[in-house]
A and B are shown apart, each in its own frame.
Chain A
Amino acid sequence: MLSYPEPGPLTLNVNGDMLSLTPRPADTLLYSLRQELGLTGAKPGCENGDCGACTVMVDGLPIKSCLMLTAEAEGREIRTVEGLNNTVLQDAFMDAWAFQCGYCTSGFLMTAHALMEREPEADEATIVEWLRSNLCRCTGYEEIVQAVKAALEQTQRS
């Protein structure tokens, strides 16, 4: 049985790299990514599972990293916004000006990236349903939906 009764070393697979860290058993994945691994792309917003600013992908699924313990994530494939480089989706966000202050953007990108992998034929209703997991307090939702639609269309064309 895997157990962490005390802070102890563990290894996480983040963006394809095996990274060692020593979290407390009560540390969330969000906390460890930012404070121990220096990966600050996942943003602390509400830390209550509401805003989605901390969304990462775990085994291909969007997960709010404030709602996952670091110990839970051991043995799973974690992808953060730092693992996205020059993707069609990021280009589409820039083309559509799908951000204002930008604080929520990494969370939206990870939710949308998971959507593109799991639902490559997604229609607008599906896009909206997935993106309802994330909040943008600048209220730039329309541009974000347009960006995701454009990225999906471009991926389908290619």
Chain B
Amino acid sequence: MIASRFQYYRPETLDEACQLYMRLQEAKKMPLYYGGGTEILTRARESAIRPDAVLDIKHIPECRRLEMAEDTIVFGAAVTLDEICRTNYWPLLSDAAGRVADHTTRCKITLGGHLAGTIPYREASLPFMIFARDAKITVQGPAGPRRIPLVQVYDGQLHLGSAEFVVDLSVPRSVRDYRGASVKTTRIDWVDYPLFTVTMVRDSSGVRAAFSGVLADPFTSASIDKILSGKADLSQRARESVAQMNPIIDDLHGSSAYRRFRLTTVISQLLQEIGE
């Protein structure tokens, strides 16, 4: 049971949601945009957060877009990870999103909530981070919607202004052409918080990778991509790239030494899998 009280609103347009958020803020309330709500509800149950209102954005059509057009794929912020996997418009994203939580919970977790939440892994963001220069994000704010390069507001953490929320993410359809793979590792059980997740792609310019569960936030690195794209044997490339990562997380899910060991193995395997 959630002991605290909050109000529930179901806006139907982008403006309605944003205006309501600002009105609640002006009234000294703490509103939260609400997608799948999995993190909000679990944290509210623990009284770790005490919102005054939740604004359910799942009934805003723009947030529910899931479309593959001639040159672009659009993923609405209120689309669930299960819907992303089921439509499979971008197999690499399906791979990464399909390992978040468990099947039933993925029917509730939304892409926007996954990126905006406080759980640091955000595995489904890794394919977008690899293609960050090409990926776009639409953000709704007080001045209306703006479509900008993802890198302007996402670096493993989402940086939005007051009253802003994510409407959608989009990538060129050409991302489907690249050979890629994503691997999530856990300490013991299949369904668990990740030890780490690695997503890797190979294109004409070389290898690009994104990592989660290694440092504090998901990240990409040009210097690691350069090592991974080199000519050394696969295990040496893996060792050298892991040596670039510092400080590696050391927690109950796994020590930094254990993560380093597993990372070296998984990176070698992924390099092989994408045809290096």
Contacts and interface: CB of A to CB of B under 8 A. Distances in A.
Interface residues of A, number: 33
B103 A5 contact: no
B44 A3 contact: no
Interface in B99-143: 101-105, 107-108
A67 B105 contact: yes
Nearest to A74: B10
Contact of A67 (B8, B42, B53): B42
A132 B2 contact: no
A48 interface: yes
Contact of B104 (A26, A31, A52): A52
A130 B106 CA distance: 11
* Majority secondary structure, A binding face: mixed
A10 B251 CA distance: 45
B97 to A, nearest CB: 14
B104 A3 contact: no
Given A3-B7, A4-B8, A5-B7, A66 B102 contact: no
A111 B190 CA distance: 18
B63 to A, nearest CB: 15
A147 interface: no
Interface string A54-82: 01000001111011110110000000000
A129 B7 CA distance: 36
A55 B6 contact: no
Contacts of B11: 1
Interface of B: 1-2, 4-12, 16, 20, 36-38, 41-42, 44-45, 53-54, 56, 58-59, 82, 101-105, 107-108, 190-191
13 contacts: A3-B8, A25-B5, A26-B5, A26-B6, A49-B42, A55-B104, A67-B37, A69-B41, A72-B37, A111-B103, A132-B102, A132-B190, A133-B102
Given A25-B5, A52-B104, 18 more contacts: A1-B16, A1-B20, A2-B9, A4-B8, A4-B9, A5-B8, A5-B53, A26-B2, A27-B2, A48-B42, A49-B105, A62-B107, A63-B107, A67-B36, A68-B41, A72-B37, A129-B103, A134-B104
